[in-house]
Amino acid sequence: MVMKLGTLIYCLCRDRVLLMRRRKEPNRGLWVAPGGKVEPGESPYECARRELREETGLEAAKLHFRGMTTLVSPLPEWRWLLFIYAAEICDGDVVSDDREGLLRWWPLAQVSELAIPRADAVFFSHIMDFSQPFHQAKFIYDADLQLQEVQEYPV
């Protein structure tokens, strides 16, 4: 069973974060960070920069590698290794063709009130707080892709 590689990129500007309301499964209708699949021959860092540019029109001068999560389930097509980055970007206009979803800047203080994936709710505060250490976790889902267990690992 092959594990897919993916990235998430949280863009920060002062006290706001850029999130996307997904149009596709998984997480359709939920607010998530931009991101996507690592392409053959591409590093996770290169993927994060490319996906950020493709989905938002923004360029990151520097990405901060803030976390890594494993998502597993009994379904052979649902095994992911996600590399999670944060970028401080206050320059440039957000541009989207809306294929992936609607983009919007949210105050950090309001994110906990948004409809976000349960896994994201676990790691979001760790990723956003640069005084926190790198975050590692494993998320275990059932065959209906309902989160069953979270294993967080100290770094």
CA distances in angstroms from 44 to 4, 48, 65, 84, listed in the order given? 12, 6, 10, 9
Q: How far apart are alpha carbons 71 and 10 in whole angstroms? A: 19
> Total structural domains in the chain?
1
Higher pLDDT among residues 107 and 90, named by residue: 107
Joined tokens for residue 142: 């059932």
> What does the pLDDT average to over 99-110?
93
Residue 97 pLDDT exceeds 70: no
pTM value? 0.95
Q: Which domain holds residue 55?
A: 4-153
The CATH number of the domain where 107 resides is what? 3.90.79.10
Confidence of residue 92 (pLDDT cuts 50, 70, 90): confident
Q: How far apart are alpha carbons 130 and 134 in whole angstroms? A: 9
Confidence of residue 10 (pLDDT cuts 50, 70, 90): very high
**Mind listing the pLDDT tens digit for each residue in 28-79?**
999 999 999 999 999 999 999 999 999 999 999 899 999 999 999 999 999 9
Q: Is there a contact between 15 and 2 (Cβ–Cβ < 8 Å)?
A: no
* CA nearest to 47, candidates 6, 3, 86, 101: 6
Task: Kindly compute the dihedral angle of the four CA atoms of residues 61, 6, 31, 94, in this order, to the nearest 10 degrees.
Answer: 30
